[in-house]
Amino acid sequence: MLDLDDQTKSADRILAFRNEDGDVSQAFVAAVVQATEAGDAEQLRELVRPFHEADQGALLEALPSELRARLIGLLGDVFDFAALTEVDDSTREEILDELPTQTVIEGMKDLDSDDAVYILEDLDKQDQDEILEGLPASERVALQKSLDYPEDSAGRLMQTELVAAPPFWTVGQTLDHLHASVDLPESFYEVFVVDPGHRLLGQIFLDKLVRSPRGERVDALMSTDRRRVHATDDQEQVARLFERYNLVSAPVVDEAERLVGVVTIDDIVDVIQEEADEDVKALGGVSSEEELSDTVGTIARSRFVWLFVNLITAFLASAVLGLFEGQLQKMVALAVLAPIVASQGGNAATQTMTVAVRALAVRELGAANAFRVTLRETFVGLVNGAGFGVLTGLAAALWFKDWNLGVVIGVAMVVNLVAGALGGILIPLTLEKFGADPAVSSGVFVTTVTDVVGFFAFLGIATLWFGLG
């Protein structure tokens, strides 16, 4: 049992509950488990109270699944419901299924609108409606409006809490309003200037506001050229806007240019991580929905499809070997060396494909530069093919004491690395052109190209060179 005397009463002592990597320590998790099983709410509150929402989320994921909802119930108002945005989707859904609806409603009341939408959007429509019905009318309307926007759009990402002022206000009036308001956002960076129809006119950053004379009108100070996003814009597009213009926040407007919310950098960091996670998983043929907490059955089903596609393409590569069955029987060395050519081409193609998919994802690769990049990758494949062709040719010649065999595998290596480079960039470009996700589909097709070309080039050149037909 962890000694809790005064450790949990000071933020400085939180470090005692972390391991050297900054994660929640096993000793702390054990203490929380023991207190939860004993139903000791007072001790749990002392343990968890100092923790940030992200730390509470990490603690939830570290706990046995059967104790998570019980812990939240024992913590009461000490538990920050924003912690549910820090856990993976399956863990959050499991917790929400076990919690009483009224507990969820009370927890949602204290959340920023963007966090509330993040939690609500993955629930069934019936559960959404039940929770929304229990919220105050103003919150319910704002959340429902956000949920009506397309998935992965700026409207889902934004928070509706913001600070707006009319153009005729002075700096003094605006500051007095900020001082007197009791429902300001938890954190904000700027004051938006809107007309009577709530259409966005411009904005003023807080540092400029507090440095200006109290009698200055806000419309004389506001910036009108700041970047804004539309509520229906895709979140990837919004993230690129933040990256390109070094934004910390951006106003969100509807189709009539009315101000409806604001997207902040903390949400964009989550988008960037989410999109990168999806792309990395897709390159491996793994569903973007797969989480570490998923069951064996769920994971097996999600991976089966692309493994099945890969099996079909593997038979295609094997069929190429079948075309040269007679040659393989006459010269065993061909069977030994053929996989080397295919494997090296596959590795080179994967390198090119990774660069191409990433460039497509961030809009660095398009029609304007596709030819130049394809030509460059072809020459890279040619140079690397020549280098590895010499190395592999020498190794094969010395191994089998046959310089002719070295020449054959060397030439085949050049052919397959060039084919791999071309496949690695042309396949993602083609898939993108036809509306398919190149990150999801490219890997299997690129591997097939390098296997088929590798086997066919090596065995075909060998047949011609040695007259094995």
Mind listing the pLDDT tens digit for each residue in 218-277?
999 999 877 899 999 999 899 989 988 889 899 999 999 999 999 999 889 988 888 777
Half-sphere exposure in the Cβ direction for 81 (13 Å, CA): 23
Query: What's the confidence (pLDDT) of residue 206?
Result: 92
Contacts of 439 (CB under 8 A, 6+ apart): 278, 279, 282, 283, 357, 361
The mean pLDDT of 289-302, rounded to a whole number, is: 72
Query: What's the confidence (pLDDT) of residue 284?
Result: 65
Amino acid letter, residue 55: D
* Cross-strand partners of 262: 159, 251
Query: What's the confidence (pLDDT) of residue 8?
Result: 43
What's the pLDDT band for 169 if we cut at 50, 70, 90?
very high
pLDDT at 214 over 80: yes
Which is higher by pLDDT, 452 or 278? 452
The mean pLDDT of 449-461, rounded to a whole number, is: 87
Amino acid letter, residue 200: L
CA 378, 382, 384 angle in degrees (round to 5)?
115
Percentages (nearest 5) of helix, strand, coil residues in the chain: 65, 10, 25
- 466 exposed, middle or buried (CB, 10 Å; 0-12, 13-18, 19+)? middle
Give the Cα separation of 409 and 392 in Å (integer): 7
Lowest mean pLDDT segment, chosen from 122-131, 177-186, 307-316: 307-316
pLDDT at 337 over 90: no
Which is higher by pLDDT, 42 or 305? 42
Lowest mean pLDDT segment, chosen from 45-59, 76-90, 234-248, 278-292: 278-292
What's the pLDDT band for 13 if we cut at 50, 70, 90?
very low
What's the pLDDT band for 292 if we cut at 50, 70, 90?
low
pLDDT at 6 over 60: no
The mean pLDDT of 369-392, rounded to a whole number, is: 92
Query: What's the confidence (pLDDT) of residue 7?
Result: 44
Alpha carbon distances (Å) from 100 to 58, 97, 103, 104, 127:
22, 8, 5, 7, 11
For CATH 1.10.357.20, the residue range(s) in the chain are: 296-466
Half-sphere exposure in the Cβ direction for 100 (13 Å, CA): 8
**Residue 248 tokens, joined:** 């910390």
Lowest mean pLDDT segment, chosen from 132-141, 206-215, 434-443: 434-443
Lowest mean pLDDT segment, chosen from 104-113, 165-174, 325-334: 325-334
Alpha carbon distances (Å) from 460 to 326, 334, 455, 464:
12, 11, 8, 6
Percent over 90 (pLDDT), the chain: 41
Which is higher by pLDDT, 71 or 317? 71
Is the distance from CB of 200 to CB of 188 less than 8 angstroms? no
Helices 403-433 and 370-400, axial angle in degrees (round to 10): 150
Q: What pTM value is reported for the model?
A: 0.67
Is the distance from CB of 404 to CB of 446 less than 8 angstroms? no
Query: What's the confidence (pLDDT) of residue 273?
Result: 82
For CATH 1.25.60.10, the residue range(s) in the chain are: 7-156
Query: What's the confidence (pLDDT) of residue 447?
Result: 81
For CATH 3.10.580.10, the residue range(s) in the chain are: 164-283
pLDDT at 74 over 80: yes
Query: What's the confidence (pLDDT) of residue 25?
Result: 79
Q: Which of 61, 377, 8 is nearest to 369 (CA)?
A: 377
Range 265-273 contact pairs with CB under 8 angstroms and sequence separation of 24 or more: 267/114, 267/157, 267/158, 267/159, 268/238, 268/239, 268/242, 271/157, 271/235, 271/236, 271/238, 271/239, 272/239, 272/243
- Largest CA-CA distance found in the chain, in angstroms, rounded: 95
Q: Phi-psi category of 2—alpha, beta or left, where left has phi over 0 and alpha has psi -120 to 50?
A: beta
Tell me the CATH architecture of domain 7-156.
Answer: Alpha Horseshoe (1.25)
Is the distance from CB of 351 to CB of 428 less than 8 angstroms? no
Backbone dihedral angles phi then psi of residue 9, each to the nearest 5 degrees:
-95, 0
164-283 classified as CATH 3.10.580.10: yes
Query: What's the confidence (pLDDT) of residue 122?
Result: 83
**Residue 239 tokens, joined:** 């993230």
- Pair type for strands 259-264 and 229-230: unpaired
Query: What's the confidence (pLDDT) of residue 288?
Result: 65
The mean pLDDT of 388-406, rounded to a whole number, is: 92
Q: Which of 227, 222, 260 is nearest to 246 (CA)?
A: 227
Query: What's the confidence (pLDDT) of residue 156?
Result: 93
Tell me the CATH architecture of domain 296-466.
Answer: Orthogonal Bundle (1.10)
What's the pLDDT band for 217 if we cut at 50, 70, 90?
very high
Query: What's the confidence (pLDDT) of residue 11?
Result: 41
